[in-house]
């Protein structure tokens, strides 16, 4: 509940309105049976004046109750929607501060469910809180007292009714609380499976795996369905049981009054009011049980949201961190790194040290899994090193402000990710206030102008969801353009030309060398030909820096580099012969 408190305080007017309205609605509901009893008593005594008077009062009280009920729903809805909207925004902002490690811990599918399904449960929770939390106790206590006042000798009927219904509600709703936790877990799994299948639909269809994917989804969906069915069965069984107990109480009251009607004739007029109070008492207990169930489900969702909000980002920036222009000198000092979920001692990078001067081009090569991308992610501070320090212009990355670091380091991933929107809106993610000239310069460097200018809308061309209307090479070139549009002091290209043909890749590299002479460029490449002109090449093997130097120096001194180079040359000759 503590995560709701600051948001509830912002809507104190809605809370006051909802509380006052629900109290008025509850009081009018309790007063109507009393007026009905007065009307019946007046009818039995043939007093027309009192019948008219109490009849008018009954109508007025009913109208007041209706208006109060409408007001309660109005204020409760405003409160619930406002609080949920604010909490959703707070949670989304928190997610934006997460590092890669935090996202992987929760999984993107689970975070989506928390932002949508769990927030819907919290909306219902807040609605129930202000609509029923006060109403139920007022109706329960009021109907019990007024029932005893109406026919005092039948007090034990109410006590018996309360005991039976509370025992039944306890056993039913207690089980539902555990079931709701399972529902949210299965919803996470369903959402994750759907997301992965839709994102990888080409792979699924290419390998004819539709049947297996369908079977996996059906299994998880059936698990969710079974839990939902159990909840449904409990719901469907609870109402008939509650109704049966209530009717038995009413029947017992009628029977007892009928047995002594000659002794207590005044109870004939009071019987209708007493039955109404019994009904209100029963409904108060039932609504209380339903409220506790909604609370149970809401508390589960609140717990899942709280888990996100209290999670400390693996990578945190100091608000008082260094702010200023950096040139791009990079230094690694005995840097080691292990992923958060790695076993103890299982390092992805171990004791890496090197120094890079601003404006240099650095190649990073090595076998798959050698730690090339991991090293690049550390430069962009997507992760923090487990040991050692990384410096830019002598400043430890941890002492830089987030704004400064993001303006200094631009990261172009191998898997080009573009968002739905226009080409221009995607490029401006690299620099939100980029001018038309800067955008044109960026697409020129990335060799994207040739296809962008063919579009009638040019930079205003719409990119579809998951950039489905672009080829792999086009996406990579636009991704490179987004990376260079801000003219960053440090540019990291993580195998980001893998989808380009040899000619386009060469043109991109020549443009980068020509237009980004003052930019420190890290090129992660599978092909050595991509880094031949680098000022320095880092050779990684199983997370260790085993060699560094120029291409010629490494050919003369590094057996691993020689092995990679010779094997790639052999493959090129085989391809040439086949052609």
pLDDT at 20: 93
pTM score, two decimals?
A: 0.73
pLDDT at 536: 94
In angstroms, what CA-CA distances link 113 with 83, 106, 216, 378, 380? 18, 11, 19, 30, 29
| Across 176-180, 217-221, 256-260, 481-485, least confident range | 176-180
In angstroms, what CA-CA distances link 50 with 43, 45, 288? 8, 10, 37
**Residue 523 to residue 495: CA distance in whole angstroms:** 7
Query: Domains of the chain, with CATH numbers?
Result: 5-309 (1.20.1560.10), 330-415+488-578 (3.40.50.300)
pLDDT > 60? residue 578: no
Nearest 5°: phi and psi at 3?
Answer: -75, -20
Closest among 434, 418, 417, 416 to 426, alpha carbons compared: 418
pLDDT > 50? residue 577: no
**Residue 491 to residue 497: CA distance in whole angstroms:** 14
In the chain, the percentage of residues whose pLDDT exceeds 70 is 97
pLDDT at 571: 63
pLDDT > 50? residue 517: yes
Q: Encoding tokens for residue 405? A: 């670091």
Q: Report whether 526 contacts 367 (CB < 8 A).
A: no
Alpha helices in 323-401 (DSSP H): 372-379
pLDDT at 573: 59
Average model confidence (pLDDT) for the chain? Answer: 85
Count of CA atoms in the C-beta half-sphere (13 A) of 326: 27
Which is more confidently placed, 529 or 45?
529
pLDDT, tens digit (0-9, with 9 covering 90-100), for 93-103? 999 888 888 88
Residue 352 — pLDDT band, cuts 50, 70, 90? very high
pLDDT, tens digit (0-9, with 9 covering 90-100), for 40-78? 777 777 777 888 888 888 889 889 989 998 999 999 999
Average pLDDT (6-27) is 89
pLDDT > 70? residue 115: yes
Which is more confidently placed, 92 or 146?
92
| Across 286-300, 383-397, 429-443, least confident range | 286-300
pLDDT at 572: 62
pLDDT > 70? residue 574: no
- Pairing status of strand 421-422 against strand 462-463: antiparallel
In the chain, the percentage of residues whose pLDDT exceeds 90 is 30
pLDDT at 43: 78
């Amino acid at each position: 509940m503590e995560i709701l408190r600051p948001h509830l305080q912002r809507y104190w007017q809605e809370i006051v309105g909802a509380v006052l309205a629900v109290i008025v609605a509850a009081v009018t509901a309790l007063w109507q049976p009393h007026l009905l009893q007065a009307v019946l008593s007046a009818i039995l005594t043939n007093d027309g004046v009192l019948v008219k008077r109490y009849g008018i009062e009954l109508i007025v009280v009913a109208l007041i109750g209706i208006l109060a009920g409408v007001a309660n729903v109005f204020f409760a809805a405003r409160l619930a929607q406002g609080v949920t909207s604010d909490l959703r925004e707070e949670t989304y902002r928190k997610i934006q501060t997460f590092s890669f490690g935090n996202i992987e811990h929760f999984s993107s599918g689970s975070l989506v469910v928390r932002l949508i399904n769990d927030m819907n449960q919290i909306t219902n929770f807040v609605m129930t809180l202000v609509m029923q939390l006060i109403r139920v106790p007022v109706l329960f206590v009021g109907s019990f007292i007024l029932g005893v006042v109406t026919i005092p000798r039948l007090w034990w009927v109410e006590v018996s009714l309360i005991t039976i219904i509370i025992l039944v509600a306890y056993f039913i709703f207690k089980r539902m609380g555990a079931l709701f936790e399972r529902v949210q877990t299965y919803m996470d799994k369903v959402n994750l499976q759907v997301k992965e299948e839709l994102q990888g639909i080409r792979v699924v269809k290419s390998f004819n795996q539709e049947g297996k994917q369908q079977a996996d989804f059906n299994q998880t969906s059936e698990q969710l369905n079974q839990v939902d069915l159990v909840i449904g069965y409990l719901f469907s069984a609870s109402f008939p049981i509650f109704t049966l107990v209530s009717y038995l109480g009413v029947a017992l009251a009628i029977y007892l009054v009928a047995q002594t009607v000659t002794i207590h004739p005044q109870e004939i007029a009071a019987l209708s009011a007493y039955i109404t109070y019994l009904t209100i008492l029963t409904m108060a207990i039932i609504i209380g049980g339903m409220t506790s169930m909604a609370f149970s489900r809401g508390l589960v969702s609140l717990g899942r949201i709280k888990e996100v909000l209290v999670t400390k980002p693996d990578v945190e920036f100091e608000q008082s961190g260094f702010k200023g222009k950096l040139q791009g000198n990079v230094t690694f000092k005995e840097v080691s790194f292990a992923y958060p979920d790695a076993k103890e001692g299982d390092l992805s990078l171990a004791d890496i040290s090197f120094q890079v001067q601003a404006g240099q081009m650095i190649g990073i090569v090595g076998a798959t899994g050698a730690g090339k991308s991991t090293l690049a992610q550390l430069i962009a501070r997507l992760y923090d090193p487990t040991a050692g320090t990384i410096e830019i212009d002598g400043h430890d990355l941890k002492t830089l402000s987030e704004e400064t670091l993001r303006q200094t380091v631009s990261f172009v991933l191998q898997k080009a990710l573009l968002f739905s929107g226009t080409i221009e809106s995607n490029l401006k993610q690299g620099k939100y206030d980029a001018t038309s000239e800067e955008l044109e310069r960026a697409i020129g460097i990335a060799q994207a102008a040739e296809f962008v200018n063919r579009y009638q809308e040019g930079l205003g061309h719409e990119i579809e969801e998951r950039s489905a209307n672009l080829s792999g090479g086009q996406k990579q070139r636009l991704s490179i353009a987004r990376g260079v549009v801000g003219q960053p002091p440090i540019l990291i290209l993580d195998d980001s030309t893998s989808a380009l043909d040899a000619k386009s890749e060469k043109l991109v590299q020549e443009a980068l060398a020509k237009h980004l002479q003052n930019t420190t460029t890290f090129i992660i490449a599978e092909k050595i030909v991509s880094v031949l002109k680098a000022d320095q090449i880092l050779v990684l093997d199983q997370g260790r820096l085993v060699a560094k130097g120029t291409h010629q120096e490494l050919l003369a001194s590094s057996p691993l580099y020689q092995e990679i180079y010779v094997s790639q040359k052999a493959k090129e000759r085989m391809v040439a012969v086949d052609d």
